[in-house]
């Protein structure tokens, strides 16, 4: 049975390698391709872990087995950067660093032929589960605000794949105390091989563009207002003249209802005509533009007052969004220390 398991491991790994090649040659951005390929390489190394452990490669084996241990953290990075298009907060990096240190400690104990403490394994698995759950929650919560049709279709698929894989791997390891029966392992490897074939057939026929190579620059300029599209004109009027963005609770469903259109039509309208890929980014662009102007014109007005008045719920969310857009904090902007290259034309 061991030979059959190893065969399916190699076959499943070969499917992931094919996926890596397809992603590497795709039209996705370099950042996306690199992140996805590293994640898939971690998957390959996970599949080949027993073969690597049996190979006579000394201390290189634990090193190669380290990347699969932090695969859940890579999944969260994928969701944050590719699906949510967010900057990764310091707290997330710190948690990832803690998880990496736990993984290094476990691999070091195995390299020194020491018995790995149960608490270490359990803590590492807890981190893995937490990262996967966080990634799934972000995928689910962000589906309505995602203006990219292809990416929105991918969200439930990627979420279910994460959930099934995590439940299968982490659950089985905990249930059998890391001594997985050969029959269960054979079924798992065969299932991964079948899933790899199905995924590649879908990928090679559809080739979903998670992040197109050329993304049109978001444009809310006056030139767009001259469009003959009445829906677009109504949208721009609601945002510019009626300051719909100042509503803290503004959601795409509410805005669509006010404009007398469907959520799907509004998503396509914003994405195709204004170049935005996320509803929050679209709304925040108006909030940041007004805030930037008022920070200069109203130097005595507290930053918090401006933040709340333009639609942000808190000073921290305002600071993060402002810095991501303008390249500096609101205080630096007001003081004239801003890199003006970030200012919208």
How far is the C-alpha of 291 from the C-alpha of 285, rounded, in Å?
A: 10
How far is the C-alpha of 30 from the C-alpha of 24, rounded, in Å?
A: 9
Going by C-alpha positions, the residue among 287, 285, 198 that lies closest to residue 243 is: 287
Reported as a pLDDT band with limits 50, 70 and 90, residue 94 is very high
- Predicted confidence at residue 320, as pLDDT, reads 87
Alpha-carbon distances, residue 74 vs 38, 43, 69, 121, 203 (angstroms) = 8, 11, 10, 19, 21
How far is the C-alpha of 255 from the C-alpha of 244, rounded, in Å?
A: 8
- Segment 278-296 shows an average pLDDT of 93
Q: Is the pLDDT confidence value at 192 over 70? A: yes
Note the pLDDT tens digit of each residue in 170-188. 777 767 666 777 888 888 8
Q: What pTM was estimated for this model as a whole?
A: 0.76
Instruction: Centre a 10 Å sphere on the Cβ of residue 39 and count the other Cβ atoms it contains.
Output: 19
Going by C-alpha positions, the residue among 108, 35, 117, 109 that lies closest to residue 75 is: 35
Task: Determine the distance from the C-alpha atom of residue 156 to the mean position of all C-alpha atoms in its chain, rounded to a whole number.
Answer: 13
Which residue ranges make up each domain of the chain? 2-206, 222-342
- Segment 307-317 shows an average pLDDT of 92
Reported as a pLDDT band with limits 50, 70 and 90, residue 213 is very low
Q: Is the pLDDT confidence value at 46 over 90? A: no
Coil, strand or helix at 146: strand
Reported as a pLDDT band with limits 50, 70 and 90, residue 342 is very low
- Predicted confidence at residue 59, as pLDDT, reads 65
CATH class label, 222-342: mainly alpha
How far is the C-alpha of 248 from the C-alpha of 257, rounded, in Å?
A: 17
Q: Is the pLDDT confidence value at 340 over 60? A: no
Percent of the residues in the chain that have a pLDDT greater than 90, as a whole number: 33
- Predicted confidence at residue 170, as pLDDT, reads 73
Q: Which residues contact residue 216 at a Cβ distance below 8 angstroms, ignoring those fewer than 6 apart?
A: 275
Q: Is the pLDDT confidence value at 302 over 90? A: yes
Residue-averaged pLDDT of the chain: 83
Q: Is the pLDDT confidence value at 247 over 90? A: yes
- DSSP calls for 20-81: HHHHHTSSS-HHHHHHHHHHHHHHHHHHTHHHHHHSS-TTHHHHHTHHHHTHHHHHHHHIII
Contact 42, 226 (CB under 8 A): no
How far is the C-alpha of 120 from the C-alpha of 127, rounded, in Å?
A: 11
């Amino acid at each position: 049975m061991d030979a059959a398991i190893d065969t399916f491991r190699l076959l499943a790994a070969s499917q992931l390698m094919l996926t890596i090649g397809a992603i590497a040659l795709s039209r996705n951005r370099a950042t996306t391709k690199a992140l996805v390929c590293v994640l898939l390489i971690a998957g390959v190394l996970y599949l080949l872990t027993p073969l690597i452990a049996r190979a006579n490669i000394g201390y290189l084996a634990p090193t190669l087995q380290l990347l699969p241990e932090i695969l859940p953290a890579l999944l969260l990075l994928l969701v944050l950067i590719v699906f949510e298009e967010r900057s990764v907060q310091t707290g997330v990096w710190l948690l990832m660093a803690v998880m990496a240190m736990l993984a290094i400690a476990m691999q070091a104990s195995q390299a020194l032929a020491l018995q790995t403490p149960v608490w270490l394994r359990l803590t590492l698995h807890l981190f893995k589960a937490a990262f996967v759950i966080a990634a799934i929650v972000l995928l689910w919560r962000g589906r309505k605000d995602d203006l990219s049709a292809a990416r929105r279709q991918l969200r439930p698929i990627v979420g279910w794949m994460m959930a099934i894989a995590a439940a299968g791997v982490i659950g089985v390891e905990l249930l059998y105390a890391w001594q997985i029966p050969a029959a269960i392992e054979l079924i798992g490897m065969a299932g991964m091989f079948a899933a790899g074939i199905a995924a590649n057939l879908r990928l090679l026929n559809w080739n979903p563009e998670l992040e197109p190579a050329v993304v049109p620059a978001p444009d809310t300029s006056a030139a767009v207002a001259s469009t003959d599209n009445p829906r677009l004109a109504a949208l721009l009027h609601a945002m510019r003249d009626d300051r719909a963005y100042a509503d803290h609770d503004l959601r795409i469903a509410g805005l669509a209802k006010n404009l007398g259109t469907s959520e799907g039509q509004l998503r396509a309208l914003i994405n195709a005509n204004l170049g935005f890929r996320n509803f929050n980014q679209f709304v925040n662009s108006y909030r940041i533009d007004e805030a930037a102007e008022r920070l200069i014109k109203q130097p005595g007005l507290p930053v918090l007052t401006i933040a709340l008045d333009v639609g942000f719920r808190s000073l921290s969310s305002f600071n993060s969004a402002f810095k991501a857009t303008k390249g500096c904090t609101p205080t630096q902007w007001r003081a004239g220390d801003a890199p003006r290259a970030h200012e919208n034309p």
